[in-house]
Amino acid sequence: MNLAHIIDSHPADRVAIISRGRPTTYGTLRDQVAHVRGGLAKLGVTKGDRVVLLCSNGRYFVDVYLAALGLGAVTVPLNPSSPAPEIEREIRTVEAKVVVVEPSAAHAFSQVDCTTIPSLTAVVATEAGKVECANLAFDDLLAADQVPVVEVDDDDLAALIFTSGTAGSPRAAMLSHGNLMSNILQGRSANEGIGEGDVVYGVLP
């Protein structure tokens, strides 16, 4: 099962996320994700392509993460506070096709020469005009037609997570849709007291 389906069964009027004090219902989230999925598809993103999220915890991250998974693409969350050389190295390592950048990472990302990264076809700014080298804004993705979720196998790659090793540069750990779903189920088992109406504070990514 594609992990993107995780938001499908919840009531449309129930709050899914609260970002910057603004609640988003599951109905709105599903609608936004389907549009962003269409926007990424319009950029040529298909199964196996790498989509880098240079974003902190918030609605943009959630929308793009689920949209990319829904296309069978591989999500690559990077720390928006990382220095430019580290950002560039990691983008090159994963051969990113699209990078989504929030304003807090704009200065560091402006030092990355995108023209020398052959795999990179688009840079999307979460807020228009805040990332000088971006050729698209998040609203452009939202304006695209909705497209359906692409089905995947449990062992298909879903995410590449750079981990801090004990020696050398961070390496990308591979996580499948099945891995992530297992993590979610384990988390639910360990927190049986959490139920409908409770709010979980998300620290990651």
Residue 31's nearest CA partner among 130, 142, 156 is: 142
Q: Domains of the chain: which residue ranges?
A: 3-190
Residues 6 or more apart whose CB falls under 8 angstroms from that of 175 comprise 157, 158, 159, 160, 161
d(CA 60, CA 139): 11
Say if residues 17 and 24 touch (Cβ distance below 8 Å). yes
Q: Which helix (H) or strand (E) holds 183?
A: helix 177-190
**pLDDT confidence of residue 205:** 61
Pairing of strands 50-54, 171-176: unpaired
CATH number of 3-190: 3.40.50.12780
**pLDDT confidence of residue 166:** 63
Neighbours of 27 (CB within 10 A): 15
d(CA 89, CA 149): 31
Q: How confident is the chain (205 residues) per 10-residue block, as mean pLDDT? A: 94 93 96 98 98 94 98 97 94 97 94 94 93 92 97 97 76 94 82 77 73
What stretches of the chain adopt beta strand conformation (E)? 15-19, 22-25, 50-54, 74-77, 96-101, 122-125, 136-137, 157-163, 171-176
